Amino acid sequence: MKPLYALIANPVGHSMSPDIHNAALKEAGIDGHYHGFQVEKNQLEYAIKGMKALGISGFNVTVPHKVEIMQYLDKIDVTAERLKAVNTVRLEDGHFVGYNTDGEGFLHSLLDALDQPLSQLSFLMIGAGGAASAIYTTIAEYAPKRFDITNRTIEKAEALIENAVGKITSSAFALKTAEERLGDYDVIIHTTSIGMYPNVNETPLSLANAKKTAVICDIVYNPLETKLLSEAKQLGLKTVDGVGMFVGQAARAFELWTGITPDVKKMKSIVIEKLGGTPC
Ligand code: NAP
């Protein structure tokens, strides 16, 4: 059977994963196909059983199924277990094994913009949801100088910090406090949905107090340049957009399924073109 890969999400229509994975399959000379399926929450268990019965080689999982799916898989790898979320599943000897490639995807995109090791940098994260958890847990392993979290619901930021493995210096506080302390950080990572299409005029905080050398990251990638990134550019700060994380997690998933490293630059071009930008 030709290998079949999938995405399960709800909604799924807007996703660019089929575009980049089908292009990567073609590029790799693999006669397979990647298809997006809209799955309702109460159908998730049946969808997984159906995919197993059909012999689907691997699939991605996104909102709202990343946590729920864990109970229906045969095995969870240690990173996904730690993050308590799965975004990629691979069929291994008839068993579905869950992985999480979001943190690695973000790290990849960040490293390109840094000229110092993570251990010498102070981080601030805005947001404490699923994507924030993947990023925090991944970067914490590199023992940064400190990694603070600000979130609308402070309890969620506190819970993230409490669950951290290993030694990491972190505090949780309100957005107002973060705005005042912004000058303490080398890297600021925005992980909420503020500023995402159609609310493109929204921004989580003012960057007026940021260090001149700070790197500003926004994992929202629609629009390509969020209001936060536009303000950062006006202030002359280095920026990292969300496309890098998106294609980074996809590239790692593709490697898990096929053993082949796809052309990340090509994946990025496809996404940027679809978003109306100029392909790289
Ligand atoms: P999530 O688990 O639902 O978390 C949402 C986060 O946003 C929480 O911290 C939430 O705060 C905060 N938030 C939402 N609306 C807010 C508002 N109006 N004001 C202040 N805070 C608000 O979602 P997620 O999966 O982490 O995704 C978050 C964003 O990242 C989405 O825009 C998603 O598209 C993007 N994302 C991008 C990539 C990529 O590859 N580039 C990957 C994953 C996600 P509370 O805790 O107070 O509710």
CATH no. for residue 195?
Answer: 3.40.50.720
Please give the pLDDT value at position 153.
96
Same domain, yes or no: 93 and 194: no
Q: Report pLDDT for 165.
A: 76
Residues 57 and 133 in one domain: no
- Based on the domain organization, do 156 and 214 belong to the same domain? yes
Domain count of the fold of the chain:
2
Closest CA to 57 of 81, 32, 77: 32
The verdict on 227 and 256 lying in the same domain is no
Inside any domain, residue 25 = yes
For residue 162, being part of any structural domain is answered with: yes
Domain co-membership, 107 together with 160: yes
State whether the Cα torsion 195-180-240-228 is positive or negative.
Answer: positive
Compute, in angstroms, the gap from residue 65 CA to the centroid of ligand 1. Answer: 15
CATH code, domain with 26: 3.40.50.10860
Residue 203 DSSP code: -
Phi/psi for 261 (5° steps) reads -85, 115
Please check whether residue 212 lies inside any domain of the structure: yes
In order along its 280 residues, the chain shows pLDDT tens digits of 899 999 999 999 889 999 999 999 999 999 999 999 999 999 999 999 999 999 999 999 998 999 999 999 999 999 999 888 999 999 999 999 999 999 999 999 999 899 999 999 999 999 999 899 999 999 999 999 999 999 999 999 999 999 887 778 999 999 999 999 999 999 999 999 999 999 999 999 999 999 999 999 999 999 999 999 999 999 999 999 999 999 999 999 999 999 999 999 999 999 999 988 776 6
The reply to whether ligand 1 has any atom less than 6 angstroms from the CB of 221 is: yes
DSSP string across 84-103: T--SEEEEETTEEEEE--HH
CB 58 within 8 A of CB 90: yes
Alpha helical stretches, state H, 64-209? 78-83, 102-111, 130-140, 154-162, 175-181
Residue 63 and residue 81 in one domain: yes
Nearest-atom index, ligand 1, CA of 246: 40
Q: Are residues 120 and 72 in the same domain?
A: no
Atom of ligand 1 lying closest to residue 134 CA = 26
What is the structure's pLDDT at 203? 97
Q: Which residues are catalytic?
A: 66
Tokens coding 4: 């079949």
**Same domain, yes or no, for 223 and 120?**
yes
Question: Same structural domain for residues 211 and 112?
Answer: yes
Nearest protein CA to atom 8 of ligand 1, as residue: 129
Q: What is the pTM of this model?
A: 0.93
Whether residue 279 is contained in a domain is answered as: no
In sequence order, the β-bridge partners of residue 98 are 76, 89
Residues 226, 263 within the same domain: no
How far is Cα 259 from Cα 118, in angstroms, rounded to an integer? 28
**Does residue 29 fall inside a structural domain?**
yes
Q: Are residues 117 and 237 in the same domain?
A: yes
Q: Whose CA is nearest to atom 35 of ligand 1?
A: 220
Residue 280 lies in a domain: no
Residues 186 and 260 in one domain: no
How confident is the model at residue 14, as a pLDDT? 87
pLDDT attached to residue 164: 82
Angstrom distances, CA of residue 128 to CA of 99, 174, 192:
20, 12, 8
| Structural domain harbouring 234 | 103-241
